[in-house]
């Protein structure tokens, strides 16, 4: 298969971008140690393209494959998850990327976004062009082929909405707080205040 223009996908080291607070993945031949940026943890055996951006305080498990994706902050991704893999153009005379002028760009067309505070459970697949909304949950072994609203719980193949985390008022309060933009300690305090107010209302 032609590989010109393809980013090299090997293993992982982390570089912090001071201006944006994001973590951009850089790749090295073998994963031998934890990333230098302690707030983001990526486990061995995971492959991430070098044009993927990962927010702070996120976790990615072992044996995941992530391509050309924007991942928010405080995201939890379990083992064996596939996100944004290349998709062949079925409208062409051939499905082989050997006949594409720009294979990587064609295969990875369509923005793939995992917003903040998302939990993706083990063995799930997220298609290109999909956005997973803030606070959403993807159940294990799910195939997600369309956008997921904030705080929705989805599962199955193809994935469908099974319910929502929290009631509408609590979801609105969380979205208004934008706590995921805060550092860990300040975020912890903000969430504690919200949960305390919910307990008072109960």
Strands 137-138 and 131-132: unpaired
At 193, which helix (H) or strand (E)? Answer: helix 184-201
Q: Is 88 a catalytic residue?
A: yes
At 154, which helix (H) or strand (E)? Answer: strand 152-156
Give the 3-state secondary structure of residue 24. Answer: strand
Q: Give one word for 68, left, alpha or beta, with left for phi > 0 and alpha for psi -120 to 50.
A: left
Catalytic hit among 24, 34, 47, 88:
88
60, 42 Cβ separation under 8 angstroms: yes
Q: Which residues are designated catalytic? A: 88
């Amino acid at each position: 298969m032609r590989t010109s223009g393809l980013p090299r996908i090997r293993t992982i080291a982390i570089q912090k971008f001071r201006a944006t607070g994001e973590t951009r993945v850089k790749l090295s031949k073998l994963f031998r140690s934890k990333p230098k940026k302690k707030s983001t943890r990526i486990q061995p055996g995971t492959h991430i393209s070098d044009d993927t951006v990962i927010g702070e305080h996120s976790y990615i498990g072992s044996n995941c494959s992530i391509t050309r994706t924007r991942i928010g902050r405080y995201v939890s991704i379990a083992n064996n998850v596939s996100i944004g893999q290349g998709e062949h153009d079925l409208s062409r005379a051939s499905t082989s990327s050997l006949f594409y002028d720009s294979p990587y760009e064609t295969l990875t067309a369509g923005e793939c976004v995992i917003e903040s505070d998302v939990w993706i459970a083990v063995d799930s697949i997220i298609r290109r062009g999909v956005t997973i909304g803030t606070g959403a949950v993807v159940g294990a072994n799910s195939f997600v082929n369309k956008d997921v609203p904030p705080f929705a719980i989805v599962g199955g193949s193809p994935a469908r909405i099974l319910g929502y985390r929290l009631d509408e008022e609590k979801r609105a309060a969380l979205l208004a707080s934008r706590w995921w933009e805060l550092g860990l300690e300040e975020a912890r305090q903000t969430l504690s205040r919200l949960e305390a107010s919910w307990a008072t209302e109960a």
